[in-house]
Amino acid sequence: MPKRVLITGAAGFIGSHLCDRFWEEGFDVLALDNLCTGNLDNLAHLFGRPRFTFLHHDITNFIHVPGELHYILHFASPASPADYLRMPIQTLKVGALGTHKCLGLARAKGATILLASTSEVYGDPLEHPQKETYWGNVNPIGVRGVYDEAKRFLEAMAMAYHRTHGLSIRIVRIFNTYGPRMRLDDGRVLPNFIGQALRNEPLTVYGDGSQTRSFCYVSDLVEGIFRLLLYTDYPYPVNLGNPEEVSILDFAKEILALVPESRSTIVFHPLPEDDPKVRRPDITLARELLGWEPQVPRQEGLRRSIAYFREKIAVA
């Protein structure tokens, strides 16, 4: 019989790609989402196929899954600033109550659970690049704290279950990831820039654009997650992201070069509160533990993403 995996946040950007990968690998996939930010269109191609079931459910409530369950991937959470600033309490609840329910289910089923954490646990980092051993520089009462602290609590609770109950856990700290199925209104820099360029609107750069980010294509991230869950028993956080760093201003110029028909210009707005100045993963551990590193060059990933967003805008 195929192994059964439950994926929370399954209708979201990363969650839906995980559903694809595990279904293609022969798993029986249970996809769970309350659709507060997810979109069923991301899963439409899987509906009606064998070994795929969608469950509409809020994981801050008790989760009932009959039968065997071998793996849980906990990816439910608002993840973009636009979402968690709009839903701060829900973000904290899914990080705390939702994580508690998922860990309890994993314990009851004897399942291995992989939990999605984030580079945001490092806050506005004083260490660069960021290693897993860095404890972070987070403002717990700032507007971004609802997301940062929800994920830090998720990690702490997962480790408590591991140490107290011997639960088999994995923790992935995800750095900026992009690709098809991101929402145009996501609020993050990549869909913002691409959407603005395709609509001939000014590209909005915050501050002077000198702050840096690193962007990992979604297929590379999914590969790293797959290896972390199935090829190791390592219970501590692992960074997954692309260490190739670019300034936001240079990134805006890259997007405009890849949309040559765009008449967009670049405009500058004040920097949001607690916006990180630098963000770049140290992936030494992922290389050593998983034999993993990103394979898709940024230019190629951006071309695929622009083609996806171009189609979405045309349909709209």
Please report, as a single letter, which amino acid is at residue 112.
Answer: T
Continuous H helices in 87-170: 88-93, 99-109, 145-165
Structure tokens at 3: 């192994």
Contacts of 281 (CB under 8 A, 6+ apart): 119, 129, 130, 173, 175, 214, 239, 240, 241, 242, 243
* Residues carrying an active site annotation: 147
Structure tokens at 305: 């993403």
**38-60 as b/e: b if 16+ CB within 10 A:** beeebbeebeeeeebbbbebbbb
Structure tokens at 47: 């509906």
